[in-house]
Amino acid sequence: MTSKTATLQDVARVASVSTATVSRTLSHPDVVSESTRIRVAEAVRATGYRINRAARNLRTKRAHSVLVLLPDLANPFFSTILEGISRNLSQRGYSMLIASTKQVHDSGERLIDYLDDVRADGMIILDGGLDADVLKSLEDASQADRVLFACEWVDGTSFPSVRCENRKGTQAAVTYLHDLGHRKIAHVTGPEGNVLMHSRKDAFIAEMTRLELALKPEWIIAGDFSLAAGCLAAQTWIAMEDRPTAVFCASDQLAMGFIAELSRHGFSVPDDVSVMGFDDIDLAAQFIPALTSIRQDRLMIGETAAEMLMARIMTPDGDHLESAAVLPVSLVIRESTSSPS
Amino acid sequence: MTSKTATLQDVARVASVSTATVSRTLSHPDVVSESTRIRVAEAVRATGYRINRAARNLRTKRAHSVLVLLPDLANPFFSTILEGISRNLSQRGYSMLIASTKQVHDSGERLIDYLDDVRADGMIILDGGLDADVLKSLEDASQADRVLFACEWVDGTSFPSVRCENRKGTQAAVTYLHDLGHRKIAHVTGPEGNVLMHSRKDAFIAEMTRLELALKPEWIIAGDFSLAAGCLAAQTWIAMEDRPTAVFCASDQLAMGFIAELSRHGFSVPDDVSVMGFDDIDLAAQFIPALTSIRQDRLMIGETAAEMLMARIMTPDGDHLESAAVLPVSLVIRESTSSPS
DNA sequence: TCTCTTCTTGCAATCGATTACATAATGTCT
DNA sequence: AGACATTATGTAATCGATTGCAAGAAGAGA
C-alpha cells in the first residue's frame, strides 16, 4: 500500500505490457486476448490501480456526470425523483451533480457554463420556471440535446421532456368526485405561469364542461403548490356563500394546507367537504385524513429522465429518439373524499 | 460564436501573450500587470473562453467537488442540509455530488473509490449507519481529513463532525414538559444502533432522573425515526394501562405518525396526551396540531459542514482545526403540547 | 553609468489516459 | 508454400491547463 496512487504506467509495468493495452483491457475487454486480460487484471489488483477520471475526461471530452437542476433543494417532492436519476446514472458509472436554479441565478453564471466539457455531459431540469432567454442560449449553442426537462417543461422550447399524464390525472380526479355525487367542485391551482398549473387547470375546466357541471369563476382558486397557499384557499372557501362540496387541489401540499386550515376553523374533511390532492407524496397516506390523490411514480420519472438523457448523450445524432415520455398516473382513494352529505 | 470551445491557447493568441500569462491572470490576478490583466479579460470575453475543468483537475490533482453521502435521498430531513452545503460550495466554485449509501453498497464499490483524485476532494457523510470497517479503510488510507460527518457520526472513529446539541435539546424538551406539569413522560426512540437514538435516549433518561421523575421501562418505546414507527408507538401507548401524559419523540416524523394513529383511534392531541418531536422539519408548523419540537438549523448544519471540510481540504496539515462543531438547538412551542388535564 | 533588486512574462515539461496508426503474430484458403 | 485476412499489441501524439525556472525589463542606489 504505497501512498501514491498507481497510474496506468505502473499497471503496464507490472503486467509487462504497454499502457495502451492496459487501457484497452479496461475499457474494451473484448479486443484483447484472454491471457493479457488476466495478467492486467492481476496487475490492477496488485497495484491497487484506480482510474484518474480527470485524465480520462480530458482525453475523451466527457465529464461522465450529469447535472440536475432543481428550483429548490428543500422541496421533498423532488427527492424521490433524484433517487431515480441517481440510481440509473450510478449503474452506468456516471455521477449526479446537483444545483438549484436559485443558485444559478445568484452566482450570475449562465446555464451553459454548467455544460462544461468536464462539469457535466448533460442536464436534467426540474424547474419549468426558468427564463426563456436563459434556455435560448442553450438552444443557440445547439446544446439542446444535452438538456432534458422532467415533471415540468417550458412551452415554446424544443427540449425533450418526461412528464406525467397531467390531463388524464385531472380528468380522473374530477370524474371520481363526480361519481361520488359531487356537482359543485372547486380547483385550487398552482402558481401563475407554471406549466403544470395551466395543464391541470385547463384539464379541470375541460372535464367540468364535459360533465356539464356548473363552474363559477370563483371556484378556481389561485394558489402556488405550497401549504401556505392551501391555507389561504381554505379561507377563501370558508368565505363563500355557495360552497363547493369538493375541492381538487393541484398538489398534495395545497390539499394539506387546505385541510389544516379548515380544521382550525372547525370544519371536517370529508364530512363538510371532500378534498383531493395531486402527486401522492409520501406523507399523503399518513395525513389525517389520509389524502385521496393522483399518484405520480416519481422514482420512474427520475429513472426515465436519466435513461432518455443518457440515450441522447450516447448517440448525439439519434433523431429516432422520442422527444417526450408521458408516464401514467393513478387515482389513489383514501379518506379525504366521500359522497356529499 | 464558433461551435468549438475556446482554449487557453486561443485566448493567449488573441491577447498576444503566452498561455502561462493567461493562466496566471485567471487564477492569480495579483501577479500580472494591470495592462495584461485588462487585455486578457478582453480576450476572454471575445473568445467566450470557459475553463476546461478536466485539464485543470488533471494538472492540479484536485476534483473541485465534494461528495455528499446520504442514507436515503428520499428523506426530506436532508434536503435543507444539502441546500446549505451546496450554497457554501458553489460560492467557492466547487460542485456538489450526491450519492446514497445504499447505492455504494449495491454497486460494491468501496467508499474510497469515491475519493478519487477527480471525483471528489472530500466527502460529507450524513449516515451514521456505515460499517465501521468500511470507514476503517478510509482511515487506513489516511484520508480521514477529507471526510466529515454531519448530523450523525460513528463512535470510535476519528472523523471530524458537525452535529447539533442533542443532549441539550432533549433536556429542554423534558424540562419543558415537566414545567407544563407532566410527570409521566414517555420517549419514542430512533432506530437501534443509531448514534442519535442513543444520544437522545441517554439524555432523556438522565434528565428524567435529574427531575426525579418515575421512568417505567415500557415508557421507552423503540422506534426508528419514521412515520410508520410513530404509528406503532401510538398503538403501544394506547395499549398501556397507565398511560404517560406526554410523549417525547426522537423525530418529527415519529411524532406525526404517533399523532395520526392516535387520532384514528379517537384520541386528541394535546388534550389526551402532549406530543413533542425533534428536528422541526418544515412540515411541523403545518401539521395538525402544529408540532412542538426541538429546532435544528439544518441550513447552518450544511453550511458549517461544508466550511469545515473545505478548511481541511485547503490546508491538509492544519492540526489547529476544530474536530467537531456542535450547533445550538432551540425549543419551538406550538400546539401539540399543553398542561395535562 | 553600473550593479542589484523587484516585477512581469515566456518556455516547456507535466499531469494520466486514450486512440489512430503501424507492426507483428497467427490463422485460412487455394 | 504463398498470399491474404484477422487478431493482438506497441508507439507516440494528444487532450488543455498549470507552474518551476529563467530571462528580460524597469527601477533603485551608489
Please indicate, yes or no, whether residues A181 and A232 belong to a single structural domain of this protein.
yes
A310: closest CA of chain B, how far (Å): 18
- Does residue B225 sit in the same domain as residue B290? yes
The answer to whether the Cβ–Cβ distance between B118 and A227 falls below 8 Å is no
Q: Which residue of B has its CA nearest to A103?
A: B87
Q: How many domains does chain B have?
A: 3
In chain A, positions 49-88 with C-beta closer than 7 Å to nucleic chain C are 49, 51-52, 55-56, 58-60
Q: How close A176 gets to chain B, by Cα (Å)?
A: 25
Whether the pLDDT of residue B319 is over 70: the answer is: no
CA distance B91 to B8: 23
Inter-residue contact A327 to A165 (CB < 8 Å): yes
Residue B132 has pLDDT above 70, yes or no: yes
Using alpha carbons, select from B67, B131, B56 the residue that is nearest to residue B96: B67
Same domain (yes/no): B191, B279: yes
* Residues A116 and A258 both lie in one domain: no
CA pair distance A229, A192, nearest whole angstrom? 12
Phi, psi dihedrals of residue B40, rounded to the nearest 5°: -65, -45
Convert the pLDDT of each residue in A199-229 to its tens digit.
Answer: 999 999 999 999 999 999 999 999 999 888 9
Query: A231 to chain B: which residues are within 8 Å by CB?
Result: 286
**Residue B272 and residue B127 share a domain:** no
Q: Is residue A1 part of a domain?
A: no
Number of H helices, E strands in chain A: 12, 12
Q: Is residue A341 part of a domain?
A: no
pLDDT of residue A31: 87
Whether pLDDT at A2 is above 50: no
The verdict on B116 and B131 lying in the same domain is yes
- CA end-to-end span of chain A, whole Å? 75
A264 close to B (CB below 8 A): yes
Which residues 6-25 on A are within 7 A of strand D at the CB atom? 16-21, 24
Residue-number span of the structural domain to which B128 is assigned: 61-164+299-328
pLDDT band, residue A12 (cuts 50/70/90): very high
Q: Is residue A340 part of a domain?
A: no
B306 and A CB contact within 8 Å: no
Partner residue facing B52 (CB), from A113, A118, A257: A118
* A168/B contact by beta carbon, under 8 A: no
pLDDT top residue among A136 and B36: B36
Verify that A72 and A183 share a domain, yes or no.
no
Asked if residue B336 belongs to a domain, the reply is: no
User: By the 8 A CB rule, do B226 and B260 touch?
Assistant: no
- Do A117 and A308 touch, CB atoms closer than 8 A? no
* pLDDT tens readout for residues B292-307: 999 999 999 999 999 9
Residues B147 and B157 placed together within one structural domain of the fold = yes
- Tell me, yes or no, whether B197 lies in a domain: yes
CA A244 to chain centre: 32
- Mind listing the pLDDT tens digit for each residue in B141-168? 666 788 999 999 988 888 899 999 999 9
Tell me, yes or no, if B99 comes closer than 8 A to chain A by beta carbon: yes
pLDDT band with cut points at 50, 70 and 90 for residue B1 = very low
Please tell me whether residues A283 and A180 are part of one structural domain. yes
Q: pLDDT (tens digit, 9 = 90+) per residue, A21-57?
A: 999 999 998 888 999 999 999 999 999 999 999 999 9
User: Which bases in strand C are touched by protein, i.e. have an atom under 7 Å from a CB?
Assistant: 7-12, 14-20
Check if A58 contacts B (Cβ < 8 Å): yes
Inform me whether the C-beta atom of residue B3 falls under 8 Å from chain A C-beta atoms: yes
Tell me, yes or no, whether B290 and B172 share the same domain.
Answer: yes
Q: Check which CATH number belongs to the domain holding B278 and give it.
A: 3.40.50.2300
| pLDDT mean over B303-330 | 85
Residue A39, all three cell numbers: 495478467
What is the percent of chain B with per-residue pLDDT over 90, rounded to a whole number?
63
Q: Do B80 and A74 touch (CB under 8 A)?
A: yes
Domain match, B153 and B170 both: no
A178-207 residues touching B, CB cutoff 8 A: none
Angle at the Cα of B106 from the Cα atoms of B103 and B111, rounded to 5 degrees: 65
Tell me the percentage of chain A whose pLDDT exceeds 90: 61
Residues A188 and A289 in one domain: yes
Contact indicator for B194, B210 with CB cutoff of 8 Å: no
- Dihedrals phi, psi of B340, to nearest 5 degrees: -65, 145
Q: Which residues of B touch A50 (CB under 8 A)?
A: 113, 116
Q: Is residue B141 included in any domain, yes or no?
A: yes
Q: Is residue A25 part of a domain?
A: yes
Q: Looking at chain B from residue 103 to 132, which residues have their Cβ under 8 Å from any Cβ of chain A? A: 103, 107, 113, 116-119
Cβ B4 to strand C below 7 Å: no
Per residue, what are the HEC states of B229-261? HHHHHHHHHHHCCCCCCEEEECCHHHHHHHHHH
Does residue B91 belong to any structural domain of this protein? yes
Does residue B43 reach within 7 angstroms of strand D, measured from its CB?
no
DSSP 8-state class, residue B145: G
